[in-house]
Structure 1
């Protein structure tokens, strides 16, 4: 499983999450403590927002602990909103196009989790994308495809509903094809204004998610596991929950896919290739 950290608030240097804390993201890349896999050495990435609507991004296939540029970049770049990720591959080769965060326009996205029997669901999932979004797919991971499907299902207008419809689509598609119905999804995403996170799993075994205040005034950090040993500072976000960090603070909501289920007819058309 991967590890990630995200922040929104008053501008901070990226090193405050990536390299400085006792259990920083770089430390988690070779010694994660709350994951099935302690080592997350299949690449890393950071995405940050500055003076332009689109995020900047830096990714590489090196383990985060061995990249000679990452600490320097994290020390020099300051941002009010950024995402950082270290990867433990569960599917897709170790290549830059498969490293998170993924970006499209003003959106950035990173994910920790998996789709059961993804190799049997990939083609009908891709068939749901319009030509522009299909052309935007450069990697081979389930994570990137979930991001593009969320864009297809209206991420720009209603982010949480788009995520719910995406996950519901995958679950119903797996059921229709008589494959394993398993979605584990703990993700962070942003449009450059608000920071969103979702923790959800169809089997109630979603990867972990924690939150804590950070920064000089009203900032908030969302992470796969705490960045230090101050247990009183970190709150575990329950399974089946969405978090929105915006200019007015933190909004926590229940999250599920029951009300977002696509029709059986639509699933059948996609699965049969008759869009």
Structure 2
């Protein structure tokens, strides 16, 4: 599968997020500990919010540990909201348009997992995408179609409900095609202000997902740790796997849960799919 991280808080160096942690995303590119595959070398992507209304993106088909331009960029760039994703392709080509995160206006989206038997259900899923959104689809991944289904079902108005409807629709179509496990997902999406992260799968055995502990709590537990004093109190991370081994720094996100990160606070809500009222067969 893939590995990803979503950071929000005061602006930090991308280098601090991507390279410096003990189990950084660059390290996970070769040595993922909790992923379905150890190596995630089929390209990567970074999305971040700066001074412009639309987030910046950098995609590459290079393995994340091999891209010199990423290192140069990360040393210089800072941002207060960052999405980063490393890819392990499971069928779709290794090309830049298939690298996450995907973007629509101010929105970013990234996914670890798969839509079961995607080629069998692809036509039915694509036909459900709003015609006004369809021309924006550039790649060939199930993850991008998932994003545009969520947009079709109202992501920009109510993200948890839209993702629930998209998942419900995908499961409905999958079961029409005798797909036993239509959805495997950890998903993150953001509008640049709030981040929503989801952990769900049709068989209730979802890929790993963790959220960071409150930084002020960690400072109290580890007063002599200099790294913790470099982070602001509002720093929050949601990650595929912990970036370090500091005890108490990470909480596993429960199965079938949505995590909402906004202005330094983290809220957990139950998540379950909802079949849309109008179904396309």
Shared fold per TM-score greater than 0.5: yes
Q: Taking structure 1 as the reference length, what is the TM-score of the superposition?
A: 0.94
Displacement, 1:131?
2.2
Q: Structure 2, unaligned stretches of length 5 or more?
A: 216-230
Q: Which residue of 2 aligns with 1:69?
A: 69
Structure 1, 80-89 or 171-180: larger mean CA deviation:
171-180
CA distance in structure 1 between the partners assigned to 2:104 and 2:249 by the alignment: 33
Match for residue 9 of structure 1?
9
Q: Is the partner of 2:68 in helix, strand or coil?
A: coil
- Matches of 2:155 and 2:90, distance apart in 1: 25
**How big is the shift at 1:248?**
5.4
Q: Which residue of the other structure, out of 250, 267, 275, is the alignment partner of 2:266?
A: 250
- How many residues get paired? 265
Q: For 1:220-253, what per-residue CA distance to the aligned partner results, in whole angstroms no more than 9, with x for missing partners?
A: 0110001111131111001100001101511111
Distance in 1, matches of 2:259 and 2:31, equals 26
**Residues 201-212 of structure 1: pairs in structure 2 closer than 5 A:** 201-212=201-212
Equivalents in 1 of 2:182, 2:265: separation in Å? 33
The aligned residue for residue 46 of structure 2 is: 46
Structure 2 contact 257–269 (Cα < 8 Å) conserved: yes
CA distance in 1, matches of 2:64, 2:11: 23
2:275 corresponds to 1:261: yes
Equivalences for 1:102-113 in 2 at 5 Å?
Answer: 102-113=102-113
Equivalent positions of 1:55-204 (< 5 A) are 55-204=55-204
User: Which runs of 5 or more structure 1 residues have no equivalent in the other structure?
Assistant: none
- Indicate the RMSD between aligned Cα atoms, in angstroms: 1.2
2:247 is aligned, of 231, 234, 240, to 231
8 Å CA contact 1:91, 1:142 repeated in 2:
no
TM-score (norm 2): 0.92
Show CA shifts across 1:123-170 (max 9, x none): 110001122211111100000000011001000100010000000000
Tell me what 2:237 maps to: 221
Structure 1 Cα separation of the partners of residues 180 and 118 of structure 2: 9
1:24-43 superposed matches below 5 A? 24-43=24-43
**Offset at 1:181?**
3.4
